[in-house]
Amino acid sequence: MWRKSSYSGSPNAECVELADMPDGAWVRDSKKPNAPHVAFATEVWGAFTTSLRRHEALPHG
């Protein structure tokens, strides 16, 4: 089941969507739901979300 962040605003807001899978997580663009998704292994997704919670994610730009 695909879901958006509660921070994405209105139901029609364009953002990424996430699907929890038995072997990790899938991420896709909400504007193109039929386009390919990006798959992350459980360990990689866990490390990513942990770094976000700890505010360790690198700045972009």
Its pTM stands at 0.75
Residue 36 contacts residue 29 (beta carbons within 8 Å): no
Query: What's the pLDDT tens digit per position in 5-54?
Result: 877 777 677 788 999 999 999 999 988 999 999 999 999 999 999 988 88
Q: What is the DSSP letter of 60?
A: -
Residue 25 contacts residue 45 (beta carbons within 8 Å): yes
Closest CA to 46 of 29, 28, 21: 21
Domain ranges of the chain: 6-53
Residue 42 contacts residue 23 (beta carbons within 8 Å): yes
